[in-house]
């Protein structure tokens, strides 16, 4: 073969050079591709960062506007609130748009920032949904529809409002559930804190809309839209403490028909007399409280579970009168004092005028100091009639009225039980029901007070409670430490025989209080100490809670301290949160809860 020849040794070198050139070409192509992809990634990251900055700005603006809207709604400045809502919708919509482009969606799948971008997106969607679908309805709802005017509620208007509130509640509950499902463990601190804060706000809003929806749906049948109804309204007397607030003293029958309300006959629990043999009780109730709840109408609420107390009182009333009521409503004089601040003073014919700041003292102290038993009953009956007529006929600011009712329900000073199971199922879970739950998301310790003196010294007691959450245990439980103190402001002399009563503590000025401590659901009570010394206590169970009962006797001016260590159940303790359920007293409790870090 002519031409330049290639030796056998040269051929491998040429093949090596061609291979290296191909490798360098592949490397250049790979590098070029890498540069393109990297540039796109950097561009995308920059775009996501820019959009994130936009979203953050819009979300911060929305948060400020939401706070402003809340203030304007509470202040009944409807015109300004409408303008604020419009601005909020613009900012919320912009935040939603800023987190919904291709770059943001791609960023949600990246290994490091993806969870944070997803969480920010969910925050934006939640606020926008609320601004567009929930807040407008809540803003235009006529709250006066939920209140009686001239002793009557407009049932057709109430039904129309109920439909809107149901739709609003569905939006809020859907948003609440969606945000609750967002994982937070791997989020950066600012995003995690933002999710936690929004969840907290949504918890409150979801509770509010669920209650409003339930109330709007329940009120028409409760108020006799489908036929006449009757209820027992009982006054709890915190001067003689019972677990739900106070002894069931005076009562009145409330009749409802087509939204019209009127007060019927009145009486007292003492007039219903003694029931012997006692009404049938569940074994766990009898074990803790003996037969007393089934014997005496004033003792039906030794148990803190209001449905049990209400059902017993209804049965006693039926056996004595032959009349069957549809439910039981319980209130106390503190509720009256709240309402009087909205309505103004209420004159009581033949007696003193009831004034907001003085009503509790007038009803729980002065009446027992200055009147005999017959005069007391007459005064309480006249006060109930005057207050009822005022609350259902006087023109008041509906927002102020509903605000004080909400406060009273939150403090468990207003309780309601319906004898109609389908209605009671709607009420259950709301504080209005006074139902001691057998399951709970947050471990809750109950501290319930029952008078053991047979006296009216509860007015002078000042209770306080501190609950400290302990560390995580391998079995998923936690120990909680309760420190309960009870101080007496009673004088050492000068009280009437009506106040001193039976004086079962020996010294008539010493207040004997039976303190029941209920463990969290599924939990247990470990140790009990009174003033630092272990003491014998009664024990039992109620609604999946272990209970101890300690006798705490307090002399005038003295303070006693009860310390109880309890164990939580296996659910709900990981968060480190805890709660207290307390007997409402004439003077509000002083409380403190010391939570613990989340268990890993």
Q: What is the pLDDT of residues 120-156, one digit of tens each?
A: 888 888 889 988 998 888 888 776 666 766 667 778 8
Count CB neighbours of 252 within 10 A.
20
- HSE-CB for 192 with a 13 A CA cutoff: 8
Q: d(Cα 442, Cα 448) in Å, to the nearest integer?
A: 18
Output the pTM of the full model.
0.81
Q: Would you call 432 helix, strand, or coil by DSSP? A: helix
CB 68 within 8 A of CB 61: no
Q: d(Cα 354, Cα 385) in Å, to the nearest integer?
A: 12
Q: Would you call 260 helix, strand, or coil by DSSP? A: strand
For the chain, give the mean pLDDT.
86
pLDDT in tens, 243-299: 999 999 999 999 999 888 999 999 999 999 999 999 999 999 999 999 999 999 999
Count CB neighbours of 33 within 10 A.
10
Q: How remote is the C-alpha of 586 from its chain's centroid?
A: 20
Q: d(Cα 562, Cα 555) in Å, to the nearest integer?
A: 15
Per-residue confidence (pLDDT) for residue 146, from 0 to 100:
67
- For the chain (length 600 residues), average pLDDT per consecutive 10? 44 52 47 36 39 66 76 72 90 87 79 81 87 86 68 78 85 89 84 82 78 80 92 96 96 93 94 97 97 98 98 98 97 94 94 94 95 91 90 79 85 97 90 95 96 97 98 93 98 97 96 98 97 94 98 98 96 88 97 91
Per-residue confidence (pLDDT) for residue 346, from 0 to 100:
96
CB 496 within 8 A of CB 369: yes
Provide Rg for the chain, Cα atoms.
33
Per-residue confidence (pLDDT) for residue 158, from 0 to 100:
80
> Nearest to residue 344, comparing CAs of 332, 353, 335?
353
- H or E segment to which residue 591 belongs: strand 590-594
For residue 277, cis peptide bond before it (omega within 30 degrees of 0): yes
Per-residue confidence (pLDDT) for residue 21, from 0 to 100:
54
Distances (CA, A) of 561 to 104, 170, 463, 505, 588: 58, 46, 10, 18, 18
CB 301 within 8 A of CB 243: yes
Maximum C-alpha span of the chain = 141
Residue 346 carries which DSSP code?
A: B
> Nearest to residue 52, comparing CAs of 119, 128, 127, 130?
119
Distances (CA, A) of 208 to 72, 404, 442: 18, 14, 19
CB 325 within 8 A of CB 331: no
Per-residue confidence (pLDDT) for residue 114, from 0 to 100:
83
């Amino acid at each position: 073969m002519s031409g330049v020849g290639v030796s056998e040794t040269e051929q491998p070198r040429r093949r090596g050079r061609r291979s290296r050139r191909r490798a360098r070409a592949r490397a250049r192509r790979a590098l070029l591709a890498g540069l393109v992809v990297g540039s796109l990634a950097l561009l995308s990251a920059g775009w996501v960062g820019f959009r994130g900055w936009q979203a953050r700005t819009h979300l911060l603006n929305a948060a400020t506007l939401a706070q402003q809207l809340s203030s304007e709604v509470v202040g009944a400045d409807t015109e300004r609130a409408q303008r604020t809502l419009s601005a909020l919708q613009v900012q919320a919509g912009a935040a939603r748009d800023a987190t919904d482009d291709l770059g943001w969606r791609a960023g949600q799948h990246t290994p490091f920032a993806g969870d944070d971008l997803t969480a920010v997106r969910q925050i934006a969607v939640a606020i926008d949904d609320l601004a567009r679908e929930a807040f407008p309805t809540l803003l235009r709802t006529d709250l006066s529809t939920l209140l009686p005017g001239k002793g009557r509620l407009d049932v057709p208007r109430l039904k129309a409002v109920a439909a809107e509130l149901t739709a609003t509640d569905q939006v809020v509950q859907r948003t609440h559930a969606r945000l609750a499902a967002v994982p937070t463990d791997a989020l950066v601190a600012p995003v995690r804190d933002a999710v936690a804060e929004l969840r907290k706000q949504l918890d409150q809003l979801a509770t509010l809309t669920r209650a409003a929806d339930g109330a709007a749906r329940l009120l028409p049948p409760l108020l006799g839209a489908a036929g006449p109804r009757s209820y027992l309204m009982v006054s709890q007397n915190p001067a003689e403490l019972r677990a739900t607030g106070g002894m069931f003293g005076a009562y009145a029958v409330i009749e409802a028909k087509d939204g019209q309300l009127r007060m019927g006959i009145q009486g007292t629990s003492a007039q219903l007399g003694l029931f012997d043999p006692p009404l049938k009780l569940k074994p766990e109730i009898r074990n803790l409280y003996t037969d007393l709840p089934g014997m005496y109408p004033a003792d039906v609420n030794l148990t803190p579970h209001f449905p049990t107390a209400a059902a017993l009182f209804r049965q006693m009333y039926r056996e004595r009168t032959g009349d069957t009521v549809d439910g039981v409503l319980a209130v106390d004089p503190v509720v009256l004092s709240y309402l009087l601040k909205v309505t103004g003073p209420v004159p009581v014919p033949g007696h003193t005028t009831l004034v907001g700041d003085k009503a509790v003292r007038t009803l729980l102290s002065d009446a027992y100091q200055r009147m005999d038993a017959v005069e007391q009953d007459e005064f309480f009956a006249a006060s109930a009639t005057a207050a009822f007529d005022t609350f259902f006929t006087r023109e008041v600011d509906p927002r102020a009225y509903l605000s004080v009712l909400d406060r009273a329900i939150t403090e468990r000073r207003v309780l309601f039980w319906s004898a109609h199971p389908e209605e009671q199922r709607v009420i259950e879970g709301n504080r209005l029901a006074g139902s001691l739950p057998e399951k709970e998301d947050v471990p809750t310790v109950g501290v319930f007070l029952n008078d053991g003196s047979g006296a009216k010294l509860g007015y002078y007691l000042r209770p306080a409670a501190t609950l400290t959450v302990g560390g995580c245990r391998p079995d998923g439980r936690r120990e909680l430490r309760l420190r309960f103190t009870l101080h007496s402001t009673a004088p050492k002399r000068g009280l009437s025989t009506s106040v001193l009563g039976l004086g079962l503590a020996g010294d008539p000025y010493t207040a004997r209080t039976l303190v029941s401590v209920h463990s969290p659901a599924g939990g247990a009570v470990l140790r009990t100490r009174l003033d630092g010394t272990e003491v014998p206590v009664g024990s039992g169970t109620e609604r999946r809670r272990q209970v101890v009962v300690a006798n705490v006797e307090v002399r005038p001016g003295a303070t006693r301290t009860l310390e109880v260590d309890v164990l939580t159940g296996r659910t709900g303790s990981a968060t480190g949160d805890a709660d207290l359920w307390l007997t409402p007293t004439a003077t509000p409790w002083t409380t403190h809860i010391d939570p613990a870090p989340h268990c890993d």
